[in-house]
């Protein structure tokens, strides 16, 4: 997931010179990327924050999410589940059960485009720990890898789940969004109403910016020589995620291979959709749907976005240029 965090950092920096409201920023590292939190005082009031305690609380909550959902922590709850006996029900923590249930739901609604079992295919095409392969996978390799791919091989009932095949779950398409939601819920539990939370480009906003109006968020311009925002939107009380394949890819014999793998075919996507941005109530939903629509492409993605009433903005390659498209639900933000 990618979003123009640089753009809204610049907007906040501008506020620091002329803002009528006090605000404080907190930053840290998590999930192989960085996180940023901005807290804004009520109009005419100051923020009474123990900065050390707040930083510690934010770090601790993200550490909990990592311990539940990371594939880089060998004894995380997710990795223990990935080693569980096939066919045997396993009890899950409430957060992991929530994320698996949401993932399963979006997998079905996206017609299989979002699939948290796709990791073997990502690795096979060279976007995992082993890096770019000497040769691209052949049909036989793909067929063997596809045997243990498929969200339908994961069964979930309440707070328990089981693997019906040797699937390997990877929550990289939703965990950062869930981490954003966890921080947002923590801040709200402490009475904060005006905030911005961001992890690796996944964003959730509440209340007003330091300027006293809606938060202005930039959607990145997907071109190496034209950095900055292609479009800015004014948002509040909503989450946003952007997915694109224009940064992570390799080329072999004149063919471009995207890091985004279609779990239905086992192959990297090959379509004209360059970037897709989704607005949703939670960051986890926005995160997962952005991934799903990026797999589907512009035409199929927009069909499902309209069916599901998703607020979606797309940047699509057309000829030598780029065009913008958006769903009906995105119209109020256009």
Q: How confident is the model at residue 236 (pLDDT cuts 50, 70, 90)?
A: very high
Cα gap 63→59, rounded to integer Å: 6
Whether 213 maps to a domain, the answer reads yes
Q: Which of the pair, 317 or 125, is modelled with greater confidence?
A: 317
Report the candidate in 314, 281, 23, 73 with the shortest Cα–Cα distance to residue 177.
281
Whether 156 maps to a domain, the answer reads no
Q: Is the pLDDT of residue 214 over 90?
A: yes
Q: Is the pLDDT of residue 51 over 90?
A: yes
Please provide the size of the chain in residues: 334
Whether 33 maps to a domain, the answer reads yes
Could you list the residue range(s) of the whole structural domain that residue 22 is in?
5-70+179-235
Q: How confident is the model at residue 224 (pLDDT cuts 50, 70, 90)?
A: very low
Q: What is the CA radius of gyration of the chain?
A: 20
Whether 18 maps to a domain, the answer reads yes
Between 94-109 and 175-189, two packed helices, what is the crossing angle to 10 degrees? 130
Residues 49/187, Cβ–Cβ less than 8 Å: no
pLDDT digits (tens, 9 = 90+) for 242-301: 998 655 665 666 667 677 889 999 888 888 899 999 999 999 999 999 999 999 999 999
DSSP for 122-137 reads HHHTT-STT-S-SS--
Cβ neighbour number for residue 45 with a 10 Å cutoff: 9
**Residue bearing tokens 């000829």:** 319
Q: Is the pLDDT of residue 11 over 70?
A: no
CATH code, domain with 52? 3.10.520.10
Residues 3/202, Cβ–Cβ less than 8 Å: yes
Which of these ranges, 52-61, 223-232, 298-307, has the smallest mean pLDDT? 223-232
DSSP 329: G
**Global pTM?**
0.90
* Stretch (H or E) spanning 257: strand 255-258
Report the candidate in 180, 175, 197 with the shortest Cα–Cα distance to residue 77.
175
Confidence at residue 244, expressed as pLDDT on a 0 to 100 scale: 82
Q: Which of the pair, 17 or 206, is modelled with greater confidence?
A: 206
Report the candidate in 183, 214, 188, 187 with the shortest Cα–Cα distance to residue 199.
183
Confidence at residue 99, expressed as pLDDT on a 0 to 100 scale: 98
How do strand 23-30 and strand 311-318 relate by DSSP bridges?
Answer: unpaired
Q: Is the pLDDT of residue 2 over 70?
A: no
Whether 202 maps to a domain, the answer reads yes
Whether 302 maps to a domain, the answer reads no
Q: List alpha helices for the chain, DSSP H.
A: 5-18, 51-69, 77-82, 94-109, 119-124, 139-146, 175-189, 283-296, 298-308
**Residue bearing tokens 């960085």:** 34
Task: Give me the sign of the Cα torsion angle 6, 8, 14, 19.
Answer: negative
pLDDT digits (tens, 9 = 90+) for 132-174: 676 788 889 889 989 999 999 999 999 999 999 999 999 999 9
Average pLDDT of the residues of the chain: 89
Whether 241 maps to a domain, the answer reads no
DSSP for 120-175 reads HHHHHTT-STT-S-SS---HHHHHHHHTT--GGGEEEETTEEEESSS-----TTTH
Q: Is the pLDDT of residue 17 over 60?
A: no
Whether 275 maps to a domain, the answer reads no
Q: Is the pLDDT of residue 5 over 70?
A: no
Residues 204/174, Cβ–Cβ less than 8 Å: no
- Provide the domain count of the chain: 1
Q: Which residues pair with 36 in a beta bridge?
A: 27, 198
pLDDT digits (tens, 9 = 90+) for 87-131: 999 999 999 999 999 999 999 999 999 999 998 988 888 776 666
Cα gap 73→93, rounded to integer Å: 16
Cα gap 207→242, rounded to integer Å: 21
Collapse the DSSP code of 11 into the 3-class scheme (helix H, G, I; strand E, B; otherwise coil) and give the result: helix
Cα gap 301→232, rounded to integer Å: 22
């Amino acid at each position: 997931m990618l979003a123009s965090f640089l753009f809204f950092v610049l907007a906040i920096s501008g506020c620091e010179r002329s803002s009528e409201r006090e605000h404080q920023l907190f930053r840290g590292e998590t999930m192989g990327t960085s996180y940023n939190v901005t807290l804004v005082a009520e109009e005419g009031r100051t923020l009474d924050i123990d900065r050390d305690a707040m930083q510690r609380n934010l770090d601790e909550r993200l550490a909990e999410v990592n311990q539940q959902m990371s594939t880089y922590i060998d004894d995380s709850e997710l990795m223990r589940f990935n080693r569980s006996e096939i066919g045997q029900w396993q009890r899950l923590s409430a957060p992991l059960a929530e994320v698996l249930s949401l993932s399963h739901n979006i997998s079905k609604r996206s017609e299989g485009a979002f699939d948290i079992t796709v990791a073997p295919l990502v690795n096979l095409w060279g976007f995992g720990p082993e890096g770019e392969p000497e040769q691209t996978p052949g049909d036989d390799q793909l067929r063997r890898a596809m045997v243990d791919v498929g969200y339908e091989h994961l069964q979930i009932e309440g707070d328990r789940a089981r693997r019906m095949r040797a699937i390997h779950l990877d929550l990289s398409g939703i965990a950062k969004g869930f981490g954003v939601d966890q921080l947002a819920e923590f801040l709200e539990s402490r009475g904060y109403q005006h905030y911005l939370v961001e992890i690796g480009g996944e964003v959730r906003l509440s209340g007003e910016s330091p300027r006293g109006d809606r938060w202005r968020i930039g959607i990145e311009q997907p071109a190496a020589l034209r950095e900055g925002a292609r479009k800015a939107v004014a948002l509040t009380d909503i989450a946003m995620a952007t997915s694109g394949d224009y940064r992570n890819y390799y080329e072999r014999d004149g063919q471009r291979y995207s890091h985004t793998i279609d779990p239905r075919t086992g192959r990297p996507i090959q379509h004209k959709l360059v970037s897709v941005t989704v607005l949703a109530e939670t960051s986890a939903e926005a995160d997962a749907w952005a991934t799903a629509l990026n797999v589907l492409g512009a035409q199929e993605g927009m069909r499902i976005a309209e069916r599901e009433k998703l607020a979606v903005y797309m940047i699509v390659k057309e000829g030598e240029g780029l065009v913008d498209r958006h769903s009906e639900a995105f119209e109020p933000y256009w």
